[in-house]
Structure 1
């Protein structure tokens, strides 16, 4: 009696230890801080008009810039890489959706079998006739075409959460593409306007050089008339040379900016078509900043991070479900015979059905 009680206590203790070891630790939850300022400190009186809602084709009016942006969207290498990442994420969604459906497959098996003579099966085959008047041969063929089906019952939502995580990553890749596209449009436009500014700066420097050269000629004439000294001539000459060096620097900056635009457009260095006179008309009449909450909603990188966080949470649920037992339903039906000609002889061809 005492021994039985001791065994029972040990069994209960072992069960408690196993149950405790298999227990999944609870996930930690961070405190959310949702305090967002109501405005940007500019007296807009809650105006929700936001320039971010305006499409870039309506925001930019320079047709040369629009053409450059269109070319960049088509040919930019980084943007094309993100498009391929979207395709990869889409294929992953299809892959994760597969385990949710039953698997059905047809198989054809063929082989030979030879059992030992001094075994229970060998002794039974020796005293058995495979056909009337013909004993079972020592080496016998085995042909077994069958249809196999398997399905995992998603009782812990492991497969469904895995698919949801893949969908979230697919949506995150789309937001990643939008983020790259936004940066690409902004960088092309910024470089284009920088190029226009350099062109206008170069024109001003050239005009200044012309004025300085005229002044230098005047000082030289004054020197010949003994109204100026050589020091004044050298001073004006130095100013002309300094401004000319500034001109060379601006020309170099123009080439660098053009090369940067061509790099964004994934093409070889070439001249950038532009309207130098339209630089001063690029400032919009009014810029509406909207609300801080709209800034968070419009930024694709924030939306991408939000979707990636949701996918990570679903991955945690999938990992937790891996600790629990799974339920698989399998079935197979087929024919089996030692000669192919006997497979069509039913039910003698050993029609079988199995469930598990």
Structure 2
């Protein structure tokens, strides 16, 4: 009857513990996206699934990216973080398995005679008239195990959360690779554009220097003034000065690429001659739902949310009783000559513990609240990543379309202004226009050519950005 009462009291205590466990409802994540992009078909062809070695055609650019994926310091730092996340899985896996330790020890103890142990030692003999040694020594050899029984799956959930954190770190690495590939391509195309702008300035300088010679001859013939000569000289010097600015930009862009590929400053191999004639490939955006699988940052947020959910379960399990089993077997004696005497020297023990928080549970309550807050935070992060990805794609689709229209108009502007240079020069020679018309025609033609190169560069960068936005570059 007494044992039954104790059992009932124990059951009631456990029920009371369960009823006191707090619970917070966390809303589910919203992963809905439109069925298709604005003004786009529902075609599932997606450029983001193309491997980067197939997306980029320039062999020099491909070589730069290959080198960066091996030597980039920031990427190698991230790889170490991924490896550390993998090690945490191994550590968490070991926590719900028994811990078995080998123990070998020796000790010396002198107890007071007027104590329980002292009185026993003074009145008992070991055997054959021998007394306990004074002071008393003790030697122990054995194997001892401790095992926390994972009844509430707390340790298993922590291990699963570590797995999701590892997968999240892998996706974080993939996202870094995507950005690294895009950054190298951006810098490379910027370098090609600078080379072309430098070439345009050189061509324009030849035209301006010829115009300056013509104005000087006109002055000698009293058909132009010193003012015209000075204005043409100033225009030549202005463009010569601009050359040095572009030279500096080229140096800085080359070194930015050298930094990304992890090497000291060195010339970047490239072919810039046909940059302005580079064809713009068609980008296939696919459908918005593909972003959830293609974008590493979205998958990273998804794994982080999964880990946060498991962390919440593990935090809630801290309110429940913890069961621990301890066991050991070995040999123990006060003298080494008795250590192997069995069964007298055999030592063994089995202990079962149950520990449950009862009073002052503020710490685990705070831990549980933090876990639920972090889970809700992960929900928002996941939703934000999806929304951001969708908006980025929509923006780039519009950007690519507008840049194409802008380039076509600027190309026509360049052709018209280039023809105006020859026309204004001939009119000036026949004294039908002022020298200022020649200057303006040359200046406007130069500016339009520079803008055309900038627009072509923006088109190339938009292609790269669109590829990255669709989730391409890491595979």
Tell me the TM-score normalised to structure 1 length: 0.90
Among 265, 269, 273, the alignment partner of 1:269 is: 265
| C-alpha distance in 2 between matches for 1:33 and 1:115 | 70
Q: Is 2:163 the counterpart of 1:167?
A: yes
SS at match of 1:335: strand
Q: Is 2:232 the counterpart of 1:236?
A: yes
The alpha carbon displacement at 1:19 in A equals 4.5
- Judged with a 3 Å threshold, the aligned counterparts in structure 2 of structure 1 residues 139 and 272 are, in CA distance, closer, same or farther, namely same
Aligned residues: 340
* 1:195 aligned residue: 191
SS at match of 2:141: strand
* 8 Å Cα contact 1:165/1:314 also seen in 2: yes
The alpha carbon displacement at 1:21 in A equals 10
Question: Which deviates more from structure 2 when the two are superposed, residues 74-83 or residues 286-295?
Answer: 286-295
| C-alpha distance in 2 between matches for 1:212 and 1:73 | 46
Q: Is 2:349 the counterpart of 1:354?
A: yes
* 2:154 aligned residue: 158
Question: What does residue range 1-356 of structure 1 map to in structure 2 within 5 Å?
Answer: 19=16, 23-30=20-27, 32-44=29-41, 46-280=42-276, 282-349=278-345, 351-356=346-351
Structure 1 unaligned spans of 5+: 1-11
The alpha carbon displacement at 1:43 in A equals 3.4
| C-alpha distance in 2 between matches for 1:342 and 1:327 | 36
Structure 2 unaligned spans of 5+: 1-8, 352-475
The alpha carbon displacement at 1:64 in A equals 0.7
Report Cα offsets for 1:235-260 as digits up to 9, x if no partner: 22222122222222211211111111
* 8 Å Cα contact 1:22/1:323 also seen in 2: no
| C-alpha distance in 2 between matches for 1:163 and 1:337 | 41
| C-alpha distance in 1 between matches for 2:289 and 2:277 | 31
- Judged with a 3 Å threshold, the aligned counterparts in structure 2 of structure 1 residues 252 and 92 are, in CA distance, closer, same or farther, namely same
Tell me the TM-score normalised to structure 2 length: 0.68
The alpha carbon displacement at 1:353 in A equals 2.0
- Judged with a 3 Å threshold, the aligned counterparts in structure 2 of structure 1 residues 259 and 247 are, in CA distance, closer, same or farther, namely same
* 8 Å Cα contact 2:68/2:262 also seen in 1: yes
| C-alpha distance in 2 between matches for 1:90 and 1:269 | 35
